[in-house]
Amino acid sequence: MRAVILAGGRGTRLRPYTTTIPKPLVPIGGEKPILEIVINQLAQNGYAHITLAVNHMANIIRAFFGDGSKWGVQIDYSLEDKPLSTIGPLTLIQDLPENFLVMNGDILCDMNYKDFLIAHIASSCDVTVATYKRDAKIDFGVIRYDNNNMITEFIEKPFYHFDVSMGIYGLNRHVIEGLPKGKAYGFDELMLDGLRNKLKLAAYPFDGFWLDIGRPDDYDYCNENYDSIKDKLELIT
């Protein structure tokens, strides 16, 4: 099984941590970089070939992970000479298999990545998106009113519930083959174009443990609670 990890971002939301080191190498719990945890998990889930799509501070990431032999996997690199967003980097990879896993390099979760890719392949869908239920709090009193500007409802600091993308995708190669090579292209564009062009887009709801470490709140939570969540990540020591 093949995985592509998007590891080229500048990590601006995590400054000052990312001033001198790339975001994928930011340590978790003072023990391991985020990306090392992810690679360990993929190796445990049967992924033998991992491509790291890199850009910002790429030389540091390459020096740390090398060819992947330390983790029992083959690691190679796809280097962007300019930012290509989240999907554009895939157009530079020439040997993609028919179906493969793509994920952000700052995701921590206890998903079985093998089961995810198997489900994607079995569905015969073009794109499968792992989704997670997340609450968003509005820190204001919300006013609703009618066409005559008469207030009809007031809600104090409401919570809204959304199914959000986890930054983990199953893709069929033909989706990438139809994109211009080396052009910036984001996941949002893939979704909007896919709906417009009637691609088969599937959701893969997940209700386990998930954090987007690129968000400062999630990063701080992970560090503060690392001892209690470490076992969820099934780290190889």
126 pLDDT band (50/70/90 cuts)? Answer: very high
- What whole-number percentage of the chain has pLDDT above 90? 62
Candidates 82, 157, 200, 232; catalytic one: 157
Average pLDDT (17-28) is 70
CA dihedral 26, 27, 33, 38 (to 10 degrees): -90
- Over the stretch 141-178, which tens digit does the pLDDT of each residue have? 999 999 999 899 999 998 889 999 999 999 999 999 98
- Percentage of the chain beyond pLDDT 70 is 93
Q: Is 137 a catalytic residue?
A: no
Q: Is the pLDDT of residue 13 over 70?
A: no
Q: How far apart are CA 40 and CA 31, in angstroms?
A: 14
Residue 136 has pLDDT above 80, yes or no: yes
d(CA 131, CA 212): 12
CB 16 within 8 A of CB 29: no
Q: Let me know the angle formed at the C-alpha of 68 by 66 and 73, rounded to the nearest 5 degrees.
A: 165
What are the structural domains of the chain?
2-132+162-233 (3.90.550.10)
